[in-house]
Each structure stands twice: as structure tokens, then as C-alpha cells.
Amino acid sequence: MSHTAHIPSHRKPRRSASKLAFRAGVAGGVFSTIAVAGAAAPANAEPVTETTLEMPTLGSLDADLASAVSASAEASQQEALDQSLAAQEDAALKKAASEAKKAKAEADRKAEAEKAEKARAEARERASRTAERTSLSTKSSSSSGSSGAVGGNSASSSDQQVATGSAAAIVAFAKAQVGDAYVMGGTGPNSWDCSGLVQAAYRAAGIDLPRISGDQSSRGTSVSLSNLQPGDILYWGSRSGSYHVAIYVGGGKYVGAQNPSTGVVERSLDWDTPSGAVRIL
């Protein structure tokens, strides 16, 4: 063994052949590329200027996105507000129409009620005037006649009687309707049928009667035609099945709604003699 065998060498280590070959290949490729590029470029070519593209920053993208979201939210809010206002307007219009309809119906009802009340008031006024005239006429006839004269039948004696109280109201109402039209089923105030007039006349005195003539003639007490008093109900036909009724008003006369051609008239008992009479009072 040499005496220098343990002394380290100060020479650089040799590189392997493979590494040297790789480095040489890379260097050659680079130089070749540069040479080709230099040969291909024209002699007078201008130097290439570098163009820098500015890319939007993240901050600007966030701002644009926030602006778009805000605009969309405002549009949605405005659309919702418009829809809400439209719905409120539609509801208000419907409510106003409903209230107007109710107000009109109430006004019509009040007008009908006022009209009916006016008609009743006029009927009461006519009845009152007629009652006053009847009373004055009866008193005048009684005072001019002989109070001691006796003759005729009991009906003649009843002719001298003055209708008072409920009878006077019934007679006055019936006479006040003379001249009104006859209408089948009519109950006033300006058109009547026979039982409708009798029912209304008794109602004026505060007495309720049935609507049908047969039911009216079945009420009260049967009286003879020779013993009539003002306010008695006259009937034609059988008592329980009468087809016509009227009101005896004294003086041998009655008032009744006869037929469409004559209307409400005042007639003598001899003009159409009734079958019988009943007394309600």
C-alpha cells in the first residue's frame, strides 16, 4: 500500500458520460432554435412590442356582481309593490261597488216604505173626512125628520142610526174608496177586490179579518137584512161559501168592490140584494 493512499484527492469529481450528453443536447437545442429564429426573421423587421392585457381584478368583479344583485332585488321589490297596489285597488273597487249596491237597495226599500206610509196616511185622511161628512149628514137628516114617526120595518129604523166608534171608522174607510178600481186579489191602496176592501176597512178600525170572503162571512153573528147596522158585512151565496162580500154603510146602502167594469161603488140593497149579513162588532 502507498503511503499516500489515505490522503484525499483535491481534484473535481468526473461527471458521468450520460449527464454530459444530456446537457450537451439541451444546449444544442436552445442554440438551434435561436439560430432558426434569427435566420427566419427579415432584416428590417421591427422589434416585437409586448401587449399587456389587463385582467379584471377580483375587487371589480365583486362590485359588479353586487350592483347586479342589488338592481335585481330592487326590480323584484318594485314588481311586488305594483302587484300589491293593484290588488288593493281592485279590492277597493269591489268594496265600493258592493257598498253602492247595498246603499241603493236600502234607499229603494226606504222609498217603498215611505210610499206605502204616505198611501196609508192619505187613506186615513180620506176616511176621516168621509166620516165627518157622514156624521154631519146623518145628524142633519135626523134633525129634519120626525123623531116620533114610526113605519116600515126594523131596517128603516136602523137607517136612522149614526155610526159611531169602530163602525164609523169602517164605514168612513169603505166610502173613501168609492171610485177605486177593481182588481182580482187587490188589497189597495188604489185597487181592491171585494174581500180585500172589507179586510182593509176593518183593519182601519183595528180589527183583523181573514182574507177570503167565505172566511169573512163565517165570522161574527148572523143578522137579518131587516135589522142591519152600519159596519155589518153583507154576503152573497151561502154563509160559509160566499162568493162576494160588501159593507153595509146605513141608509139602505152598501159599499163594495163589485167587478172590473164598475170598480168600488155605493149601491142600494135593492140594486143587488145580498143573501145575508153578519155582525162582527
| Residue 14 falls inside a structural domain | no
Lowest mean pLDDT among 94-103, 121-130, 253-262: 121-130
pLDDT given for residue 26 in this prediction: 46
Alpha-carbon gap, residue 37 to 156, rounded angstroms: 158
What is the count of structural domains for the chain?
1
**Could you read off the pLDDT of 151-172 as tens digits, one per residue?**
334 344 444 567 788 999 999 9
| Residue 278 falls inside a structural domain | yes
Alpha-carbon gap, residue 136 to 6, rounded angstroms: 177
| Residue 5 falls inside a structural domain | no
pLDDT given for residue 125 in this prediction: 62
pLDDT given for residue 44 in this prediction: 52
pLDDT given for residue 6 in this prediction: 52
| Residue 136 falls inside a structural domain | yes
Q: What is the CATH number of the domain that holds 168?
A: 3.90.1720.10
Question: Which three cell numbers, joined as nine digits, stand for 232?
Answer: 155589518
The answer to whether the beta carbons of residues 179 and 264 sit under 8 Å apart is yes
pLDDT given for residue 96 in this prediction: 85
| Residue 238 falls inside a structural domain | yes
- Could you tell me the residue range of the domain that residue 96 belongs to? 83-140+157-281
**Could you read off the pLDDT of 193-238 as tens digits, one per residue?**
999 999 999 999 999 999 999 999 999 999 999 999 999 999 999 9
| Residue 61 falls inside a structural domain | no
- How do strand 181-182 and strand 191-192 relate by DSSP bridges? parallel
| Residue 180 falls inside a structural domain | yes
Across the chain, what does the average pLDDT equal?
76
Question: Which three cell numbers, joined as nine digits, stand for 80?
Answer: 311586488
pTM for the whole structure: 0.47
| Residue 146 falls inside a structural domain | no
